Structure 1
Amino acid sequence: MGAVNCRRCNLEAETREHLFRDCPTTKETWETLDMVESAPDESMGYNDWVGNFFEYNSMSQCRKFVCALWGIWSFRNKLIHENETKTGAQIAEFVSNYLRELDGVKQPIPDRCASKNRWEAPARTFWRINFNAAFNKQNSESCSGLVIRNDKAEVLCSKTIFNKNIPTAFAAEALACYQAILLELQLDLRDVEIEGDARTVIKKLQENGEDRSEIAAYTKDSKEMALRYRHCIFQFLHREANEVSHRIAHEGMKNKENTYLMNRFPLGVESAMMADRRRTEMAHEQRR
Structure 2
Amino acid sequence: MTGRELSQRIQRYMAELDGLGERKIIFNFDATFDKRNSKSASGLVVRGLMGAILASKIVLHNNVSSPFAAKAYAGLQAITLGISMGILSVAIMGDSRTVIKKCQTTKPDKSVIGAIIRDIQSKKSHFQEINFQFIHRSENVYAHKLAQEALEKGEDLHLMRVVSDHNRSAPEGRWLRNPD
TM over 0.5: yes
Specify the code of the residue in structure 1 equivalent to 2:66. Answer: T
Q: Quote the offset at 1:253 in angstroms.
A: 1.0
**Structure with more contact order per residue of length (Cα contacts < 8 Å, sep ≥ 6):** 2
C-alpha displacement of 1:210: 1.6
Q: 1:129 aligns with which of 27, 34, 38?
A: 27
Give distance in 2, aligned partners of 1:138 and 1:270: 32
In 2: Cα distance, 1:151 partner to 1:164 partner? 34
Is contact 1:130-1:146 (8 Å) kept?
yes
Corresponding position of 1:198? 96
Unaligned runs of 5+ in 1: 1-123, 274-288
| Matched-pair contact (CA < 8 Å) for 2:44–2:143 | yes
CA 240–134 in structure 1, closer or farther in 2 if over 3 Å, else same = same
Q: C-alpha offsets along residues 210-230 of structure 1, whole Å, 9 cap, x if unaligned? A: 211001011111011011101
Structure 1 counterpart of 2:126: 228
Residue identity opposite 2:99 in structure 1: V
| Aligned residue number for residue 30 of structure 1 | none
Contact kept in structure 2, 1:147 and 1:158, CA below 8 Å: yes
Aligned amino acid, residue 205 of structure 1: C
Task: Give 1:22-171 correspondences, 5 Å limit.
Answer: 125-171=23-69
Distance 1:248 1:231 in 2: 27
Superposed CA offset, 1:180-239 (max 9, x none): 100010010101000000110000111222211001011111011011101011000111
Q: Does the CA contact (< 8 Å) of 2:72 and 2:117 recur in 1?
A: yes
Matched residues, percent identical?
A: 37
Deviation digits for residues 110-165 of structure 1 (CA, Å, limit 9, x no counterpart): xxxxxxxxxxxxxx921000000011000000000001011111111101001111
**Equivalent position amino acid for 1:254 in 2:** E
Whether the 8 Å CA contact 1:158–1:264 is kept in 2: the answer is no
3-state SS, counterpart of residue 272 of structure 1: coil
Larger-Rg structure: 1
Q: Distance in 2 between matches of 1:128 and 1:218?
A: 21
Between Structure 1 and Structure 2, the one with more helix by share is: 1
Give TM-score, length-normalised by structure 2: 0.78
Deviation at 1:264, TM superposition (A): 4.9
Task: Give the match for residue 270 of structure 1.
Answer: 167
Pick one of 230, 241, 252 that aligns with 2:139: 241
CA contact (8 A) 1:145 1:159 kept: yes
Tell me, in whole angstroms, the C-alpha distance in 2 between the residues paired with 1:261 and 1:173: 21
Displacement of 1:272 in angstroms is 2.4
Moved over 3 A (4+): none
Aligned counterparts, 1:246-257, within 5 A? 246-257=144-155
Q: Deviations over 1:18-68 (max 9, x none)?
A: xxxxxxxxxxxxxxxxxxxxxxxxxxxxxxxxxxxxxxxxxxxxxxxxxxx
Paired with 1:155 and 1:189, the residues of 2 have a C-alpha distance of 15
Cα distance in 1, alignment partners of residues 106 and 98 from structure 2? 14
1: CA distance, partners of 2:129 / 2:44: 19
Decide whether aligned partners of structure 1 residues 271 and 210 sit closer, same or farther in structure 2, where only a CA change above 3 A counts. closer
RMSD of the alignment, in Å? 1.9
Select the residue among 85, 95, 105 that pairs with 1:187.
Answer: 85
Q: Output the TM-score relative to the length of structure 1.
A: 0.49
Report the structure, 1 or 2, having the larger strand content. Answer: 2
